[in-house]
Structure 1
Amino acid sequence: MRFLVLLVALLGAACTPAPRESDRAWVAGRTWVVTGASSGIGRGVAERAGSLGANVVLTARRAEALEDVARTIRASGGEALVVPLDVGNPDYAETLATAAERRFGRVDVWLNIAGIIPIGRFEEVPTEEHRRTIEVNLGGVMLGTHAALRRFRAQGFGTLLNMASVEGRIPLAYHASYAATKAGIIGLDGALREELRLNGLADRVRIVTILPWAVDTPIWANAGNRTGREARGPLPDDARDVADAIVWAALHQPSGEFPVGPKAAGAVLGSQIAPGLANRIAADMMQRIQIEGAPPAPPTSGNLFAPSPAPPTVDGGMRERWRRDNSAP
């Protein structure tokens, strides 16, 4: 186990792809729709695309946080439209797409990034939290995908990026409904890519499935948590690095799955070579990090049903807290 942790840490030191200034020509003036844009990876993607001159349509539940993202984008040379919505609502996607078209004329890139997570033994997490996770993580992605693809087919081009996870390939213990939604996104995207191929659109409409490793974002502070311990992710990656890689993928990655960074790529490879072993190793790691190693914390529904008061930042501060209390795994 110690060898595995060391190997993963060394792989994580390698760089992930990032957009360059030369990519501005492919971004400036084009319209990017970003869900979950108030914090975490979504905010990082929105700000990076805006810095390259994109028109960025921002949605999440916290209007004030979205306005702050919009100010950052405008200050860096992009344009921004704030449309506060809950992606768990059935009409959100059409409302968002219509607002984007009215302001900017069309949608070029659509990124379904919004997500929530409940943590705990499956039977100890309330069923309404499992249902809400499915509504947001999978239902919200399906609605956004439906709205985006209808427009991409009509205009003959477009790029769709859906946020899955390495957990869609290696489901983690204590993350059951979250892992289920991420596996669902992988299946959804795989089926849709074949539909595009059969309809002669595979060269003009791309669907990229994003598979990050755990990322240091506010999702952990916002998690629904029934473990009795502080929510933690295993060896999380830097949120800005992951956001930059996703922007790069929107510009350069062919249709298909995109593991973000060496840790994610190694995990996906492991799931293909020895899936049973990979699942056991991942479960043992979560037992040690989440159940045995994290400090006590009270039960909470986090931000599953209402926006969290946690700061709407890109970085979650988890790695810094570990360094400060010398409790990093």
Structure 2
Amino acid sequence: MVITGASSGIGRAAAREFAGRGDRLVLAARCPATLAQVRDECRAAGAAVLAVPVDVTTPGAVAELADAAVAEFGDIDVWVHTAAVMAYGRFDELPAPVFEQVVRTDLLAAAEVARVALRRFRAVSAGTLILTGSVLGHITAPYMSGYAAAKWGLQGLARTLQQEARETPGVRICLINPGSVDTPIYRQAANYLGRVGRPPPPIATARRAARAIVHCADHPRREVSIGRLNVVMRFGFTVLPGLYDVLVGPLMRLAGLSNQPVASHDGTVFAPNPDGEAVRGGWLPGLPQLVRAVSGATATAGSAVLRRLR
């Protein structure tokens, strides 16, 4: 299993899931230090792991990664591509280099991964390519022009590859389309909007997306949607476009942006931020926080009941 974008979010969660099954892993990401942490996590779970620091936007880097994987393990059965960056801002206020790098990372690098992987898969008539898209490959939202443009392009690319793969039995292309997921990408995003972005509810866990990826590795599916409202949003965007456009701006400002102010910055668009890389983004409470919250709410309710009884 080759996983590009393995140092954070869905990619890191997928690495853990594959490692728990004992799969042989080739992990790739930009930050050597964080990648080493993921490698150690997976080895502790019993997996054989090769970690290869790589920037998938660098010319020739993806082909070199494939060569390293084959040299270490002899073949590639599944390639999972999760590497992505994000930027917030009105399109005309977003620096052109930032917009272009988002598209380069989220679409053109994915295309290069597909190119390298499919050439190897076709040579042996076997292999599964799993690309990570987004519900924003089917709809749009303001202030995320680069990300939406890239994911729409990825949707078209994946569909085309699926059509062409019909000519090569044994080669499968899957597209995972999450909605909101609890990962660090929102805080790691470039921001020229003045407010920190956040995933609008309902929010799925990265592990849920990772499990969908693992399932596709065993039982390939053309497209998997992750998010309870994805179908509703796609319906509104397609069938009621006028109403959708009226509502999406206010809803984005209410649910997709926090009230936390932030100065303009490039986030991780051009370089990684090791301190911000993790599986979870902190948008969903962990079990200890949830227990404390429930306990606190129960105690408060109990006190209120006692006061009324007195």
| TM-score normalised by L of structure 2 | 0.87
CA contact (8 A) 2:173 2:220 kept: no
Query: Residue 297 and residue 319 in structure 1: after superposition, are their counterparts in 2 closer, same or farther (change >3 A)?
Result: farther
Cα RMSD (Å):
2.2
Give deviations 1:230-272, integer Å, cap 9, x for gaps. Answer: 1212113211222222212222242x22112433344344444
CA contact (8 A) 2:188 2:276 kept: no
1:304 maps to which of 266, 269, 279: 269
2:218 maps to which of 251, 272, 275: 251
CA contact (8 A) 1:37 1:114 kept: yes
Question: Residue 237 of structure 1 aligns with which residue?
Answer: 204
Query: Residue 269 and residue 160 in structure 1: after superposition, are their counterparts in 2 closer, same or farther (change >3 A)?
Result: farther
**Count of residues in correspondence between the two structures:** 289
Between the aligned partners of 2:248 and 2:218, the Cα distance in structure 1 is: 32
Between the aligned partners of 1:239 and 1:316, the Cα distance in structure 2 is: 9
Could you tell me how far 1:40 is from its partner in structure 2?
0.6
Between the aligned partners of 1:67 and 1:39, the Cα distance in structure 2 is: 12
Query: Residue 81 and residue 269 in structure 1: after superposition, are their counterparts in 2 closer, same or farther (change >3 A)?
Result: farther
| TM-score normalised by L of structure 1 | 0.82
Question: Residue 52 of structure 2 aligns with which residue?
Answer: 83
Give deviations 1:162-203, integer Å, cap 9, x for gaps. Answer: 111000111111000100000000100111111122x2x2x4
Between the aligned partners of 1:272 and 1:284, the Cα distance in structure 2 is: 19
Question: Residue 209 of structure 1 aligns with which residue?
Answer: 175
CA contact (8 A) 2:180 2:204 kept: yes
Corresponding position: 1:221 with 2:221: no
Letter in 2 for 1:207: I
Letter in 2 for 1:73: C
Between the aligned partners of 1:205 and 1:165, the Cα distance in structure 2 is: 22
Give deviations 1:123-178, integer Å, cap 9, x for gaps. Answer: 11100000111111111100100000001100111101111100011111100010
CA contact (8 A) 1:88 1:136 kept: yes
Specify the SS of the correspondent of 1:221: helix
Between stretches 97-106 and 66-75, larger displacement belongs to 66-75
Identity %: 38
Structure 2: gaps (5+ residues) = 293-310
Corresponding position: 1:35 with 2:4: yes
Question: Residue 295 of structure 2 aligns with which residue?
Answer: none
1:160 maps to which of 100, 104, 129: 129
Question: Residue 134 of structure 1 aligns with which residue?
Answer: 103
Between the aligned partners of 1:188 and 1:167, the Cα distance in structure 2 is: 15
Between the aligned partners of 1:148 and 1:304, the Cα distance in structure 2 is: 24
Between the aligned partners of 1:125 and 1:60, the Cα distance in structure 2 is: 25
Specify the SS of the correspondent of 1:98: helix
Between the aligned partners of 1:246 and 1:272, the Cα distance in structure 2 is: 27
Could you tell me how far 1:283 is from its partner in structure 2?
3.2
* Deviant stretches of 4+, over 6 Å: 321-324
Letter in 1 for 2:110: V
